[in-house]
């Protein structure tokens, strides 16, 4: 059987990928460059790339080009937990506190931290907005900006929803002290102590802590680093337990980095509607996407006003400002009452400063720059991991955010690795932080937001050596 030219080119490229000429995550030569090298037509080269894409060898990133597909080992899928796990009492590990403390120590490379590199943000411009906000503040500002929060800021946020085709009125938005408060208030409004909630496994440890504080029972739904939440398992949970609310991330999940496909998002919302269960959508990383378009939130399909969409400026603009919000729809007023009974309101000058920045500070220009930087830094760390870590380690490359989730293999104890690495000045987040059950003891989450300099490179080298040593010890 004769092989056509595009198939020949695809075979050549696949051989090169197998021989590690191109590593997972590498950008392949552009179509134009490939035409020049091979002497083939643009159409033939495109066909070859599309063939490799259809076979899962490469992936395309709109307006960026073609990349070698992330290394996903079959073994990883075997380890994705399939069964539901329930916890009647949640008791989150003290290690969370230790890791947050380590993030404050300038001598530690904070790869375990959830905070983005602070140098990524437009500090001088934010300082100008803050100074001007303080100058413009009137004697009545403190009371005028009580819940639901500064009107201009809520309007700016509503406009950003509108740009995505999502109808959220400024009155449905409540400004909070970071997403942590909006998520906690949402949980409070939807549940009573002793109720059941569905969460992902693994999940953001802030969710586990909030559930613990509210004395709720949790059903943990298996979630895969490539595919996201297992919807069959979610359906099973909704049929088995009297679940009052779900708390999920559809975009750049923490800690896995995964996002749900459009179809999966639609099915997820349909399942929740069918069971009449409200959703707390944690979407704090949504602005940090690397593809051409912003990923849609589940809120997009919220025709029954059952989704409380929580986000903040902490990851994408101003980490220290502690300003977040919830688009709470019908629950907005009850959330305001709860806030008035607890923290009262988010800081007024900071709300005014953010409104000023969103109106004239060049937010979108900043976002375009930070996305580019984060993508480059993620790629650099990913490459280093692929070339330095034992081949048994698997890692999936997310399309946004700044986390990499590594499955180190059953032989590696991530808690011991954490202790050994910390003793040498590198913090990592062991998988045990992200679940109530002991399922992720062989996994770690790394923060990729830091500049790829020799300090970061040395940290990854050290981790690679420690992992190799752990594997050797177990053999």
Ligand X SMILES: Cc1ncc(COP(=O)(O)O)c(C=O)c1O
Cα separation, 22 vs 25, whole angstroms: 8
User: Please, which residue, 233 or 249, has the CB nearer to ligand X?
Assistant: 249
Coil, helix or strand for 29?
A: coil
The number of beta carbons lying within 10 Å of the beta carbon of residue 469 is: 13
Q: How far is the CB of 287 from ligand X (least distance, A)?
A: 12
- DSSP one-letter code for 172: G
Q: Which is nearer to ligand X, 129 or 447 (CB)?
A: 447
Phi, psi of 180 (to 5 degrees): -55, -40
Q: Which residue is nearest to ligand X (CB)?
A: 178
Q: State the minimum distance, in angstroms, from the CB of residue 115 to ligand X.
A: 7
Beta strands, E only, 304-448: 307-312, 324-327, 394-395, 403-407, 426-427, 429-430, 443-447
Chain contacts with ligand X (rule: CB under 6 A):
114, 178-180, 204, 206, 249, 254, 282, 284, 312, 314, 324
Shortest distance, position 120 Cβ to ligand X, whole Å:
15
Q: What DSSP character marks residue 116?
A: P
Long-range CB contacts (< 8 A, 24+ apart) of 95-99? 95/415, 95/418, 95/430, 95/432, 95/433, 96/205, 96/209, 96/433, 99/427, 99/429, 99/433
Paired sense of beta strands 278-282 and 426-427, if any: unpaired
Nearest distance from C-beta of residue 148 to ligand X, angstroms? 17
Q: Is 67 or 247 the residue whose CB approaches ligand X more closely?
A: 247
Q: How far is the CB of 79 from ligand X (least distance, A)?
A: 22
- Given the complex with ligand X, which of 25 and 149 has the nearer CB atom? 149
Q: In terms of CB distance, is 116 or 409 closer to ligand X? A: 116
**Rounded distance between C-alpha atoms, residue 326 and residue 168, angstroms:** 11
Q: Judging by beta carbons within 10 Å of its beta carbon (0-12, 13-18, 19+), is residue 2 exposed, middle or buried? A: exposed
Helix (H) or strand (E) holding 382: helix 363-388
Q: Are 395 and 404 within 8 A, CB to CB?
A: yes
Q: Which is nearer to ligand X, 44 or 254 (CB)?
A: 254
Of residues 40 and 157, the one with the C-beta less far from ligand X: 157
Please identify, using beta-carbon distances, which residue of 230 and 312 lies nearer to ligand X: 312
Q: Could you tell me the smallest distance in angstroms from the CB atom of residue 112 to ligand X?
A: 12
Least distance to ligand X, CB of residue 183, Å: 6
Could you tell me where the beta strands, DSSP code E, fall in 142-210?
Answer: 173-176, 196-201
Q: Taking the complex as a whole, how short is the minimal distance between the CB of residue 210 and ligand X, in angstroms? A: 10
């Amino acid at each position: 059987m004769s092989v056509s030219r595009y198939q020949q080119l695809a075979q050549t490229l696949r051989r090169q990928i197998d021989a590690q000429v191109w590593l997972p995550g590498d950008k392949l030569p552009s179509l134009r460059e490939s035409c020049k090298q091979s002497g083939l037509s643009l159409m033939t080269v495109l066909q070859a790339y599309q063939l490799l894409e259809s076979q899962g060898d490469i992936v395309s990133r709109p307006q960026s080009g073609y990349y070698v597909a992330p290394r996903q080992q079959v073994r990883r899928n075997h380890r994705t937990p399939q069964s539901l796990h329930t916890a009647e009492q949640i008791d989150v590990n003290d290690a969370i506190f230790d890791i947050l403390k380590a993030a404050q120590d300038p001598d530690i490379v904070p790869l375990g931290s959830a905070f983005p590199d602070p140098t990524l943000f437009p500090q001088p411009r934010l300082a100008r907005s803050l100074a001007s906000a303080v100058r413009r503040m009137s004697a009545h500002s403190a009371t005028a900006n009580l819940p639901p929060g500064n009107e201009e800021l809520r309007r700016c946020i509503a406009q950003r929803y509108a740009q995505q085709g999502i109808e959220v009125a400024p009155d449905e938005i409540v400004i909070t002290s970071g997403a942590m408060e909006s998520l906690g208030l949402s949980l409070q409004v939807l549940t009573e102590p002793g109720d059941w909630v569905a969460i992902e496994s693994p999940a953001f440890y802030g969710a586990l802590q909030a559930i613990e504080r509210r004395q709720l029972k949790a059903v943990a739904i298996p979630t895969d680093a490539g595919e996201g939440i297992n919807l069959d398992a979610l359906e099973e949970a909704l049929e088995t337990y009297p679940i009052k609310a779900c708390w999920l991330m559809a975009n750049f999940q923490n800690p896995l980095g995964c996002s749900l496909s459009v179809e999966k998002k639609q099915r997820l919302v349909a399942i929740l509607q069918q069971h009449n269960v409200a959703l707390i959508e944690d979407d704090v990383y949504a602005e940090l996407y690397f593809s051409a378009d912003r990923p849609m939130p589940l809120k997009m399909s919220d025709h029954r006003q059952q989704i409380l969409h929580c986000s903040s400026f902490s990851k994408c603009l101003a980490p220290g400002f502690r300003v977040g919000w919830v688009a709470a729809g019908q629950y907005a007023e009850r959330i305001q009452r709860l806030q008035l009974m607890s923290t009262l309101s988010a800081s007024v000058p900071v709300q005014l400063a953010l409104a000023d920045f969103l109106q004239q500070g060049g937010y979108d220009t900043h976002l375009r720059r930070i996305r580019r930087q984060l993508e480059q830094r993620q790629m650099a760390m990913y490459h280093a991991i692929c070339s330095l870590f034992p081949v048994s380690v698997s890692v999936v490359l997310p399309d946004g955010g700044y986390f990499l989730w590594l499955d180190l293999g059953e032989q590696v104890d991530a808690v011991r690795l954490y202790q050994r690495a910390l003793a040498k000045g590198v913090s990592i987040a062991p998988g045990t932080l992200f679940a109530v059950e002991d399922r992720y003891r062989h996994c770690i989450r790394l923060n990729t937001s830091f500049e790829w300099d020799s300090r970061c490179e040395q940290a990854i080298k050290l981790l690679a050596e420690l992992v190799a040593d752990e594997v050797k010890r177990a053999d």
